Each structure stands twice: as C-alpha cells, then as structure tokens.
Amino acid sequence: MSLSDRLSFETLLGWRYTRAGRAARRNGFISFISGASMLGIALGVAALIVVLSVMNGFRKDVTDRMLSIISDVEVFSPDDGALLDPARTLAEVRQNPQVVGAAPYVGGQGLLARGEAMQGVMVRGIDPQLEPQVTGVAAQLKDTLLPQLKPGSFGILLGNDLARKLGVMTGDTVTLIAPSGQVTPAGVVPRLKQMTVLGTFSSGHYEYDSALAMLNIEDAERIFRLEGPTGIRLKLRDKDQARAVADQLAQTLSGNLLILDWTRQNRSWFAAVQLEKRMMFIILTLIVAVAAFNLVSTLVMTVQDKRADIAILRTLGASPASIMKIFVVQGALVGVIGTLAGLALGLLIAFNIDVIVPFLERLFHASFLPKDIYLISKMPSDPQSGDIVPIAVISLLLSFVATIYPSWRASRVNPAEALRYE
C-alpha cells in the first residue's frame, strides 16, 4: 500500500492545493503566495533564532569576563566584619556538591595615591594559594604574580586601567589610605601604608580593571585591623545554578551569614539583559506573526479560487468538516514547512556566525565591532534550546490559528451558488 493510499483525501487535497500551479497557469499566483508565506515565516523564525543566539553569546561573553574577577557565590558577615569561624564555614560550604572551589578574602574600600593623583579603589585581600580556585584572573596569575604576594611584603596588584589612571608601573610605590584610622586629639587620622606595585591584571571588564586592587590577605587584615577574613568566595560547577546554591547554603550554613550569588550582586545588569532579551523576543515574534497571518490572505484567495471544487466535493458527499480540514491541512503545511526551513536556516547561521561575519567584513571592507572601541570584537553566538523550542512552537501555533477563519469560510460555501455561473 502506497503512502497516498494511507492518507485521507482531505490531506491529499490540502497538499495538492499547497503546491498548485505547476500544471495550471491560473493557479500559479496562489502557489506563489503560499511560497511567499513560507518564506516570510522562515525568515522570521531564522531572524529570531539568530538574534537571540547572538544576545546569548554576548551575555555569556560578558558574564565570563565578569566572573573572571568576581565569584559565583560569596559568603560574608552582614556587618562587614571578620567571620567568627572561617574554618568551619569553609568546611561547610565545601560539603555542597556544586562547590568546586572556595577561598577566603578580605574586602574593603580605600584610596590609592600617587603624587597628586588619587583614586578610590576596591581593596581585596586574597590567599595566593586558594584564589586561583575561584577566579579566572587569579588562575592566569598563579604562576607569575600571585607568588609575589607574600605576607608582610605589602605588595599590590592593580587593574591595568587603574594603573594607567595613577600613572604607575611595576616597581613603583603607591600609598593606600584605609578608612579605619587612628583616633588622636586632633581627630581621626586615616591609616596610610606605602605599597609596592608588583604588576597589573586585566579581566576585560572596565568596571573592575579601573577600580580593583589585590594584596595578600594577611596584609589586608593588618591594614583594615581585622582578625580574619571578611568572607569566602565560591566557584560552582554550573554558574547558572548560583541562585539555587545560594539558597541551599542559606539553610545549611551555621551562624549569622549573608550569602549573595553573582546574579544578585549584579542585579541591575542581569535584569537589563533579561528585559532586553524579552523585548527583542516579543518584537521579532511580531514579525513571525505578520508572516503567519499572511496565510489568512493566502487561504482566502485559495478558497475563492476553489469554490467550484468545493461545490463539487460537497455534491459528492463531502461534509463541511472535511472541507474545513482540507484548508487547515494546506495552512498547516505552509506553517510547518516555513518553520522547519526557518529553524534550519537560523541554526545554520547561528552555529557558523563566527565564519559568516568575518567573511562579510572582508567582503565589504568594514568592521562591525572595531577592536579599538569594543572590548568584545567578535560576534559571539550561543544557541539555546530554551529559546529555539518556544520559537518553533509559537510559529506553528500562529500558523494554525491563521487557518481557522479561511477554513471556516470554505466550509460555508453553498454548492448551488458556487456552481451557478460555472
């Protein structure tokens, strides 16, 4: 038994109407409109996939750069003081299966002065042995600069943009001004400490490269008059699980501790990215909706052209439901073919955008992301099934909805009126 024998006559007629025009000249325009509807749906779906994949790529790239200098999760004292029992807290956080690295730190703020230049900085005291477990920048420096951060040496590492602002190089001295000063009869005198610049680092994130200074954790404790680390930084197996892990640690850790993940620490940026992605999804979905609802005009023209055929089918015993099914099948085929073509085209571009964009730049002698302006000079792409599946489902649903009215109109055709002038 052939495939055509297994299919219902409604399905066969719907497929024939979709590809009509090959034999009959007068039906060519109808098939062209069907093709245009397919193309519109395909281009809309492809554009949606490519745009969201590029947005995911930029988000991933920026997030990776951000997490190269900050940690996935931080545990610290709510009063910004030293942890009461850092050894116990370290042991407890390491029991979580998602935690792959943990390192204590001292966090504070201060001023760096060099001559007349002065810059507010975030001061981070780190353990040179453990810090490479939690940050990418420290992992890059573990064999070069980090071993030079010895206790009592009062050496300091500066972000490259911070060093440029102060006009210092490796080997120069800077003055760190800590807010925890000494009380004298003349008032509170801030603590000053001469420190030697051991080198610079770059995370690719200007916010941190221009305002972060790192020194040995023991030196930081002396400068800020602390009896231990102020917090613990954690590295997770999956950074996207940071919020869930933070909630778990809040229930399992002993003592009064504050736990923040990277999404909460960068709430404004994270929310802005999510909002931008959501709005872009809505805008591009409207493009798909326009292409899908072009099916309405396509099917209306098909129904008008096939009124005689509908009348003959009705006189042969076809029910209104069968007539409606024919045109539902036609519209559904247009939607399915257009969606599948859009998925194929969108995924092809998304997975090869690192090849396509350089080719277009060479072809047009242009640079879409100049290296002297943007930190991210390549077009990243990260297709995710969580975006692609909803796109396909929405496209198919819009296509099916667009078939309802024309199909209902076809089922209401009166055979006597349709054949009157035939």
Q: pLDDT tens-digit profile of 93-151?
A: 999 999 999 999 998 888 999 988 889 899 999 999 999 999 888 888 888 899 899 99
pLDDT value for 204: 78
Task: Select the more confidently predicted residue: 338 or 18.
Answer: 338
pLDDT value for 22: 46
**Whose CA is closest to 85, among 109, 108, 104?**
104
pLDDT bucket at 3, cuts 50 / 70 / 90: very low
Please determine, for residue 7, whether its predicted confidence score (pLDDT) is greater than 90.
Answer: no
Measured distance CA(74)–CA(260) in Å, rounded: 5
Comparing 77-81, 106-110, 119-123, 237-241, which segment has the lowest mean pLDDT?
A: 77-81
Q: Cβ(112)–Cβ(119) under 8 Å?
A: yes
**Whose CA is closest to 242, among 394, 66, 82?**
66
pLDDT value for 347: 92
pLDDT bucket at 215, cuts 50 / 70 / 90: very high
Comparing 180-194, 276-290, 323-337, 339-353, which segment has the lowest mean pLDDT?
A: 180-194
Average pLDDT of the chain, as a whole number: 81
Please determine, for residue 200, whether its predicted confidence score (pLDDT) is greater than 50.
Answer: yes
pTM of the model: 0.73
Measured distance CA(140)–CA(66) in Å, rounded: 15
Q: pLDDT tens-digit profile of 335-384?
A: 888 889 999 999 999 898 888 888 887 888 777 766 655 556 677 888 88
Please determine, for residue 272, whether its predicted confidence score (pLDDT) is greater than 90.
Answer: no
First to last CA, the chain: 37
pLDDT value for 24: 45
Measured distance CA(252)–CA(107) in Å, rounded: 24
Task: Select the more confidently predicted residue: 246 or 320.
Answer: 246
The secondary structure of residue 132, as a DSSP letter, is: G
pLDDT value for 162: 92
Q: What DSSP assignment string belongs to 309-371?
A: HHHHHHHTT--HHHHHHHHHHHHHHHHHHHHHHHHHHHHHHHHTHHHHHHHHHHHHT--SS-T
The position carrying tokens 């807290």 is: 89
Please determine, for residue 64, whether its predicted confidence score (pLDDT) is greater than 70.
Answer: yes
Please determine, for residue 25, whether its predicted confidence score (pLDDT) is greater than 50.
Answer: no
Task: Select the more confidently predicted residue: 374 or 403.
Answer: 403
